[in-house]
Structure 1
């Protein structure tokens, strides 16, 4: 029988083990098995190890653990690992060895305690307690790893859904879910809220609003693959809820994002117009423009209030004929290369690589194939703008039929129409003349700020300051994603055509 003093002494010794458990339970790190083994070593004077698989695999051990004791007891360890025995006491290499299975079921690791002398009963009783604590910590670690794996896979699926939607494929996006269709794909329309926040906040924001399915209720939050400080938030819109903050549905993710920006000076938010699911790429482009404007906007929030797109103002049949002719050589390249290039029109190449799980060299190789087929250098802003416009025209749902036996119109002829001129004048009207000169020089040098500065006789920092101002007053993105560059190339060229 153990006296009161013995019980008190064991309780005091176990308090140290409980403190270690509480410390590790409150940590997000992997369980530190070695600290528990070191605690048992201090209490017993014996050397301790956790053995897995067979007698040759030591997961963790105290500094002076005699590994030679494991070979003679290999068969005993195998029975403990299989769950045939709960514990065992033996002699090996002149040492007293006690073994405890960790956890209830096999296959399981084994706690091995080797000392010069047999421990007193009160000390020996600490060994099964330690085994129970190790089982609990390992189970917690397994749960944490499972949760991290789940979160990673959910993130990958959400990114894949975004990719499918941006490629204009809501049907493909539905098929990718394996039947567990997120409510967003049942919605007819959406807005994209592009949130800029510190990188460390992205996981927290996404996980707070994540449901058990790995989605975000009726919405979807995706980590931007190109910019680590961006969250792409696809917010479903009811048919009757055509304005931000409308009354068609209760407050949701959109309202939460507005509150986050209001309460955090380091946050900014760009919000697109309402689009169909098939126009997700256009919504993303608009949100990028709005985010560029949000940096200088009151409250660091900007809604996209852009005018009609250029492709919607061009004569339909001639424009479609021009686009089909320009893109016709893509029939000779793999569809994957064409799809990757189309995506690279709105997402930086590094982002395309992350989005598709490819290397940047692979993405560049696909784009090179397209460039060779088209005879275009897509690093040239004018070539890029022309191909961007052709993709936009070819992606319209009402691509009108025409007689492609006739020669296609020249791009300059398409851009010479009055509607295009009005569009260009409206787009550029907010710019001061010196900002317009800077913008023209920057585009003439293929967006090389240093070369533009040399051409204008000003500093590179002044060039970038002018571009930042242009972003703010025009509400387009020039320096982050560069999604506003094609429209400005066309707008400046249209006004130049008017002067000829």
Structure 2
């Protein structure tokens, strides 16, 4: 056994030979070739040897497991010696300690021929390259874990905002981003790109907003980045970002209180659909005339309170949890709602089924979904800070709310746009709603192909300026228009 000097006469390699193996070794430091296993395999082939890279605990990291003197390995791993060499049983073995931030590893090279100058140089320089790669991997892994933890924290804050827990959201955000959520109102933006480009886009959103906004990779849509910002400058920064990237679109909400982040998110998604057809690739949610604004406020509040009254028997936290989940569940699929809230889809379905049972609603019925959505929307937008409605207003039913002249005029104007199309889009749309949004059942009723139904519904979207194939506020407003026009039967609810 010997240390760095083993008494072997070495024959200097030719200059061209040295240049060749050095070039090959350096290639392993290029970004595309940084693989410790590949370096170990290259070393084995270059010096015609068996090579093993293991950690101090004996775990094989790369190469072939070799029988080694464990006391010698312990000396290398413990830092008492830097390298060693021994021969026996027809083998010549070189060992080198490789240190990096997390732990010390041992590189062992075993071959039948003695180590000449060429082989020794290759082993020495390869050990240095492996040390660099292991250090780089450790640093990269630590950076990745930090970025992942920060991204998870941002998502947790968004999920708290989505369920209206602004106090907890501010408390979590204050640790890393002081002042981020100190404002009472904010805008929500959704930036869309190809899913493969989303990570880079999210990083650019952080840079563009100078980390003064909550930037989250959407847990439900692979190509979406959600930005919640209380600062007016964010809109301009995101527009500039979209201008620089082809195939990128931006949708923004109107200003909302932090407690209405879920509402603002729905607005941003709706605006995003418009942005896809605009030259500048951006759109802000249009504050168009909503049917609830044409109804008597006191009567609407009384009706909404009565519809949701079966939930009043629940503990406050349970009621809030069910309502928050149902609001999102009526806007998105159960799978996407689960991703947004950070719960399982079975949990989402169980909560919504409980609400269905208490309210006496069937959420497979699009009209029932639209009516419950109206009650929930009324609660969050009209009940804040309001006193309860009087008995007369409380007695007003949905039929009375929809019978008002203003609502009737709005419904006729909206649905009348469809009458200009000779394909009778209005009949198809009404039948499709009555069939629960099922194209196949609608096709059977109308005696047409299911693809024709889908094309008719898709054609109605730009005419009505609303998304219909994706369930949400846009569709529910069209359903209310049909109810007000008398084209659909009104659902019966326990409290309504």
Please give the TM-score of this superposition, normalised by the length of structure 2.
Answer: 0.85
Q: Which position in structure 2 is the counterpart of 1:494? A: 484
SS in 2 for 1:69: coil
1:293–1:472 Cα contact (<8 Å) kept: no
For structure 1, list consecutive stretches of 5 or more residues without a partner in the other structure.
Answer: 239-248
Per-residue CA deviation, residues 333-383 of structure 1 (Å, 9 max, x unaligned), is 734333322221223211111123332222212222222222222221111
Q: 2:431 aligns with which of 441, 444, 468?
A: 441
Distance in 1 separating the partners of 2:434 and 2:84: 81
Shift of 1:134: 0.8
Q: 1:96 aligns with which of 80, 92, 98?
A: 92
Distance in 1 separating the partners of 2:178 and 2:432: 43
Shift of 1:493: 0.7
Q: Which position in structure 2 is the counterpart of 1:133? A: 129
Shift of 1:464: 1.8
1:163–1:355 Cα contact (<8 Å) kept: yes
Q: Does 1:34 align with 2:37?
A: yes
Q: Which position in structure 2 is the counterpart of 1:307? A: 288
Taking only aligned residues, the RMSD between alpha carbons, in angstroms, comes to: 3.2
The change in CA–CA distance for 1:403 and 1:183 in structure 2 (over 3 A counts) is same
Q: Does 1:225 align with 2:219?
A: yes
Q: 1:291 aligns with which of 264, 272, 276?
A: 272
Q: Which position in structure 2 is the counterpart of 1:254? A: 238
Shift of 1:100: 0.9
Q: Which position in structure 1 is the counterpart of 2:4? A: none
Q: How does 1:53-64 map to 2 (within 5 A)?
A: 53-55=56-58, 57-61=59-63
Q: Does 1:16 align with 2:6?
A: no
1:416–1:497 Cα contact (<8 Å) kept: no
Distance in 2 separating the partners of 1:100 and 1:326: 76
Shift of 1:97: 1.8
Q: Does 1:47 align with 2:50?
A: yes
SS in 2 for 1:177: helix
Shift of 1:467: 1.8
Distance in 1 separating the partners of 2:443 and 2:111: 77
Per-residue CA deviation, residues 167-193 of structure 1 (Å, 9 max, x unaligned), is 334333211225223665244543333
Shift of 1:81: 1.7
Q: Does 1:401 align with 2:388?
A: yes
Q: Does 1:332 align with 2:314?
A: yes
2:251–2:269 Cα contact (<8 Å) kept: yes
Q: Which position in structure 1 is the counterpart of 2:114? A: 118
Q: How does 1:456-467 map to 2 (within 5 A)?
A: 456-467=446-457
1:294–1:472 Cα contact (<8 Å) kept: no
The change in CA–CA distance for 1:398 and 1:496 in structure 2 (over 3 A counts) is farther
Distance in 2 separating the partners of 1:250 and 1:7: 60
Q: Does 1:198 align with 2:185?
A: no
Distance in 1 separating the partners of 2:325 and 2:159: 10
Shift of 1:311: 3.2
2:43–2:126 Cα contact (<8 Å) kept: yes
The change in CA–CA distance for 1:328 and 1:285 in structure 2 (over 3 A counts) is same
Distance in 1 separating the partners of 2:158 and 2:102: 42
2:299–2:393 Cα contact (<8 Å) kept: no
